[in-house]
Amino acid sequence: MRTFLVPCDGSSSALRAVQYATSLARSLPEAKIELLNVQQAALVREHASHSAQEIRNMQENAAEHILQAAAKLASAEQINCETTWRVGTPADEIIRQSQDRHCDAIVMGTRGLGAIASVMLGSVSARVVHGANAPVTLVK
């Protein structure tokens, strides 16, 4: 069985990546798509008035909302699809999920930070390309 990991952040490029992965999965028998959302660790200052459980609930709600929209695209094409969310640094968690689940490939959208921002900050997709063991396909 082939497994495609598709990180989903709610952006239009991430949804295009889901569509592309769906088209790949459709051409392979028993292929499945694993949708992943990564929530950034909450900054204490931003959520000082919330308990740890409230923060966790907010992250879970945000992740579920994003993943449901992406899962609709895959299920509309009758592709086997699983959803998962994690808390942490997006690139690190995408790489970790790919390794933990032995994914055959990662299909992810690009956000287009621009040349200066990419050089200064490094993009999530660039970090995944360099750090992942699985092949990575970037979708604009």
Position 121 scores a pLDDT of: 46
Q: Is the pLDDT of residue 122 over 70?
A: no
| Superfamily grouping for domain 3-139 | HUPs (3.40.50.620)
Greater confidence, 121 or 18?
Answer: 18
Position 120 scores a pLDDT of: 45
Of these ranges, 40-49, 95-104, 122-131, the one predicted with the greatest mean pLDDT is 95-104
Q: Which of 7-21, 45-59, 65-79, 94-108 has the lowest mean pLDDT?
A: 45-59
Q: Is the pLDDT of residue 90 over 50?
A: yes
Alpha-carbon torsion (140, 41, 86, 98), positive or negative:
positive
pLDDT digits (tens, 9 = 90+) for 9-57: 999 999 999 999 999 999 998 999 999 999 988 655 566 677 888 888 9
Q: What's the predicted TM-score (pTM) here?
A: 0.89
Position 46 scores a pLDDT of: 62
